[in-house]
Amino acid sequence: MPAANAPLFNSSQAAEEAENAGLSPAAGATFGDIVAERFNRRDLMRGLLGVGAISATLGPAALAEAQPAAANPTPSFAFTELSSQPTDRTEVAEGYRAEVLIRWGDAVLPEAPAFDPTRQSAASQARQFGYNNDYLGYFPMPGAANGSRHGLLCVNHEYTNEELMFPGLGRQDAGGPLGRQRAFAGMTAELAAVEMMAHGGSVLEVRRDGESWAVVAGSRYARRITAHTEMEITGPAAGHPRMRTAADPAGRRVLGMLNNCAGGRTPWGTWLTCEENVNGYFSGRLPEGHAETANYRRMGIPGRWMNWGDYEARFDVAKEPNEANRFGWVVEIDPFDPNSVPKKRTALGRFKHEGAAGITARSGQYVLYSGDDERFDYVYRFVTEGRVSGERARDMTLLDAGTLSVARYNADGTGDWLPLVFGEGPLTPANGFHSQADVVIEARRAGDLLGATRMDRPEDVEANPATDKVYVMLTNNNRRTAEQVNPANPRADNRFGHIVEMLPDNRDHTAPRFTWDILVRCGDPALAVVGATFNSRTSKDGWFGMPDNCAIDADGRLWVATDGNTPGRTQRNDGVWAMETEGAARGASKLFFKCPFGAELCGPEFTPDGETFFVAIQHPGETDPEDPSAAPATYENPSTRWPDFRPDMPPRPSIVAITRRGGGKIGT
């Protein structure tokens, strides 16, 4: 396989596009050169990455010029709010268009067969768009005349819903794959192989023509990543004995990435995609007294939500006890090189990563925030040892060295980042840690020993480059008791979640301390027992529960996407709400976009010009768990057949591109 930074293309089209954009690659420049140059340019960094990234390459004066005016860090939203009435299809605020860009089963690679849900195969699925699209990362095309109208869209395919994907496979119990045991009647090796190919990710070349977006057919960037794609393990755990398996005695190569939920984009143009509920893919029983027993118990391994262990020995912990240590990482992928080997960056720790959104600190170090999505788990931060240099090949190795820390939220509104460093504090052989490899493999147990704050399911964590405030989506925690509340997680039986706002000391994302506040406690403000704290300007349509993903637009405004609103729970479906964070309107929100029945909203992502908003509609057609009259959703009986509405077509997870009629920025 070629080195990650090897030049791959020698394309006249790329050179032409570069020239159009005012780039002047030397004669014979390869596409790799153009990518490298593009990702060094100040205008790109300003547009794509916001103020934080600029600090990596600019002096203080230029930086001050680039900062938005302090008086008005984030302008208010301007759009007419939607009704929250639940429906079987998507809806967007008046004056906007929401068009399906790509659906599960549509072609990604050349020679992908037309999608036929009654004749699925692993070979077809490996070339088609995968299931349950989650994170979306948009990368402007280097050299494009307008990088906000032509780029790469990187997509996570988090997991599969067999009962909605396969005819005749109605789930045998009432549980979903997330959190409950499934029955496997009806599963076969062939169907499991389809599932494996429906996981992972897709790289799509996308282009806007007028108001519509389309996937570029036959693109040389098109890529499918699956549960079988070969990946490299890098960082402190690479090669460690706990990472070695029969198939990989060196502990440096692993097949596939699993349950990739949210992610991030780096200033050097790579896609970070985060493994979340990896425990569910493992079955079997560890040998009695096995050294990984405590580690696996802390991660919920084996979860046996899938029965892949019946078909591939590595997913059976009795047969391959170390394989599960090779999942639960942040994976870095170069989307501009379809032959690049994805890298599992172990320095960032192993847990149920929701996402990995980053910002360049004033020092030039790159800082990633990541939530561990489990009841009572933690918020983490990683600070690179090196600085973002603007030299792409060099920056590509930044995530292999740095300091991982875990958050403690103190009762007085301050907080501390507690470093997970081998040999410091309790992270010593006395507690079973013999190297930094042990610390990153068991990041959760290290966090326990350090006294991190147990949170209500930390999901997306995003830093706002306009204000340096960091937003933590805490989705819910129905197991917190009244004795277990703490100031940062103030509600027992927290069914609707809340959003915590953090501000690093001196607005320095590498600082050891921060202050924090609760932006909003979610749920219906009309029900006193819920204890929601939306700003009173919020309408009956404007409140939400279960914040999950978020996006910060080019104006520094916060958009919140939800997972878990249903007609039975909150009298609304999931969707996107625009949330004010500054001034008198702070804590007010408005409904902008809503999902069809059964779906959650994932992957909110803006183009740099703020004129396109991509969203991912995940698992449309599921049952409302709070509706006792609803029959269990199956392929034959889904709660919606969005987006095709054909009797012979099941619902299909799809990406939607939102634009403003007649052009212009979203929400302005």
Residue burial 267-292, b: 16+ Cβ < 10 Å; e: rest:
bbbbbbbbbbbbbbbbbbebeeeeeb
Task: Identify whether the C-beta of residue 327 lies closer than 8 Å to the C-beta of residue 200.
Answer: no
Closest CA to 599 of 133, 99, 260: 133
Task: Map the footprint of Ca ion across residues 248-277, applying CB under 5 A.
Answer: 261
For strand 150-157 and strand 200-209, is the pairing parallel, antiparallel, or unpaired? antiparallel
**Interface residue with Ca ion, options 312, 316, 548, 574 (CB under 5 A):** 548
In the complex, what is the shortest distance from the CB of residue 141 to ligand FEO, in angstroms, rounded to a whole number?
29
Residues 549 to 588 in contact with Ca ion, rule: CB under 5 A: 563
Sheet holding 402-409, edge to edge: 357-360, 365-371, 379-387, 402-409, 414-419, 513-521, 498-504, 470-474, 458-463
CB of 92 to ligand FEO, least distance (A): 23
Cβ-based nearer residue to ligand FEO, 261 or 615: 261
- State in angstroms the smallest separation of the CB of 55 from Ca ion: 29
Q: Which is nearer to Ca ion, 14 or 261 (CB)?
A: 261
CB of 551 to ligand FEO, least distance (A): 15
Contact map string, positions 612 to 631, toward Ca ion, x by CB under 5 A: --------------------
- Residue window 132-161: x/- pattern of binding to ligand FEO, with contact defined by CB under 6 A: --------------------------x---
Give the SS3 label for residue 352.
Answer: coil
In the complex with ligand FEO, the residue whose CB is nearer, 308 or 351, is 351
**CB 348, CB 404: distance < 8 Å:** yes
Give the footprint of ligand FEO on residues 438-467 (CB under 6 A): 459
Distance between CA atoms of residues 656 and 101, nearest Å: 5
* 177/465 with CB nearer ligand FEO: 177
Selection from ligand FEO, Ca ion, none that 162 binds (CB < 5 to 8 A by kind) is none
Q: Tell me if 408 sits within 8 A of 448, measured CB to CB.
A: no
Contact of residue 37 among ligand FEO, Ca ion, none (CB under 5-8 Å per partner type): none
Q: E strand or H helix at 436, and its extent?
A: helix 436-441
Q: How far is the CB of 262 from ligand FEO (least distance, A)?
A: 7
Helix (H, G, I), strand (E, B) or coil at 430: helix
- Determine phi and psi for 354, rounding to 5 degrees: -75, -60
Distance, C-alpha 499 to centroid of its chain: 17
The only residue of 276, 316, 400, 582 in contact with ligand FEO, by rule CB under 6 A: 276
Question: Of Ca ion, ligand FEO, none, which one sits near residue 276, judging by CB under 5 to 8 A according to partner kind?
Answer: ligand FEO
CB of 476 to Ca ion, least distance (A): 9
End-to-end CA distance of the chain: 46
Let me know: does 106 contact 591? Beta carbons within 8 Å.
Answer: no
Q: Which is nearer to ligand FEO, 354 or 416 (CB)?
A: 354
What is the 8-class DSSP label of residue 47? I
Contacting ligand FEO (CB under 6 A), which of 163, 312, 354, 580?
Answer: 354
Q: Which residues ranging from 421 to 480 are in contact with Ca ion (CB under 5 A)?
A: 475
Binding mask 512-551 for ligand FEO (x = CB under 6 A): ------------------------------------x---
- Output the smallest distance, CB 663 to ligand FEO, in A: 33
Which helix (DSSP H) or strand (DSSP E) does residue 233 occupy?
strand 230-234
> Rule CB under 6 A: is residue 331 a binding residue for ligand FEO?
no
Residue with tokens 């560890």: 286
Structural contact between residues 647 and 630, judged by C-beta atoms closer than 8 angstroms: no
The CB-of-238 to ligand FEO minimum distance in angstroms stands at 26
| Residue closer to ligand FEO (CB basis): 275 or 438 | 275
- Type of residue found at 626: E
Q: What angle do CA 436, 274, 202 make, to 5 degrees?
A: 140
Among ligand FEO, Ca ion, none, partner that 448 touches (CB below 5 to 8 angstroms by kind): none
Contacts of 121 (CB under 8 A, 6+ apart): 190, 194
| One residue of 17, 195, 312, 373 binding ligand FEO per CB under 6 A | 373
Q: Find the shortest distance in angstroms from Cβ 158 to Ca ion.
A: 7
Between 459 and 582, CB nearer to ligand FEO: 459
| Residues contributing to the site for Ca ion (CB under 5 A) | 261, 475, 548, 563
Residues found near ligand FEO in the complex (CB under 6 A): 158, 261, 276, 354, 373, 459, 548
